[in-house]
């Protein structure tokens, strides 16, 4: 039923719960697990130019990579005793919902698993959650976990 499962993680407890559920499904169906973290792009005002923009971009990318490594370390610790056929991790940059659905399509994912709430807090209530956007944009089923 599921050959490849994508789990989007952001370091929130909901994301780790989604990882646990996805791992259960991967074990049951012999599916490979692809764990993804998205480093959101930060808008830099257009009046900044040159070196300032380059330096800010480097800082955001560096911080994003550090955060991703910490999140992946936690994921690997949680999955240590699992009997998964395969597991890989990947980091993407950009708007999270689009990055998640793009990877799901290019990797021919059969299921996307993610938490119902992430780390963005009150912003989700104002502009709609990433999970909702992924559900709307996805070519495959999206499993949301509380």
pLDDT for the residue numbered 32:
98
Q: How far apart are CA 6 and CA 15, in angstroms?
A: 12
Does the pLDDT of residue 3 top 90, yes or no?
A: yes
Please, which pLDDT band fits residue 128 given cuts at 50, 70 and 90?
Answer: very low
Provide the mean pLDDT of the chain.
Answer: 87
Condensed to tens digits (0 to 9), the pLDDT of residues 20-71 reads 999 999 999 999 999 999 998 766 666 666 666 677 667 777 787 899 999 9
The count of other CB atoms within 10 Å of the CB of residue 17 is: 17
Looking at residue 68, its pLDDT comes to 93
All domains of the chain in start order, with CATH: 4-145 (3.40.50.620)
pLDDT of residue 49: 64
Alpha carbon 144 to its chain centroid, in Å, reads 13
Q: Where are the alpha helices (DSSP H) in 30-116?
A: 50-79, 96-106
Confidence of residue 119 (pLDDT cuts 50, 70, 90): low
Query: Is the overall model pTM greater than 0.95, yes or no?
Result: no
Distance (Å, rounded) from C-alpha 146 to C-alpha 140? Answer: 20
């Amino acid at each position: 039923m599921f050959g490849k499962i994508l789990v989007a993680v952001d370091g929130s407890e909901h994301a780790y719960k989604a990882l646990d559920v996805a791992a259960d499904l991967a074990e049951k169906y012999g599916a490979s697990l692809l764990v993804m973290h998205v480093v959101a792009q930060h808008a830099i005002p257009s009046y900044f130019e040159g070196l300032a923009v380059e330096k800010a971009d480097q800082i955001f990318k560096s911080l994003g990579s550090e955060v991703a490594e910490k999140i992946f370390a936690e994921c690997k610790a949680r999955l240590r005793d699992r009997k998964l056929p395969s597991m890989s991790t990947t980091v993407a940059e950009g708007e999270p919902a689009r990055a998640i659905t793009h990877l799901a399509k290019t990797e021919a994912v059969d299921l996307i698993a993610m938490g119902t709430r992430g780390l963005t807090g009150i912003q989700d209530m104002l502009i709609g959650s990433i999970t909702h956007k992924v559900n709307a944009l996805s070519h495959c089923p999206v499993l949301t976990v509380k």
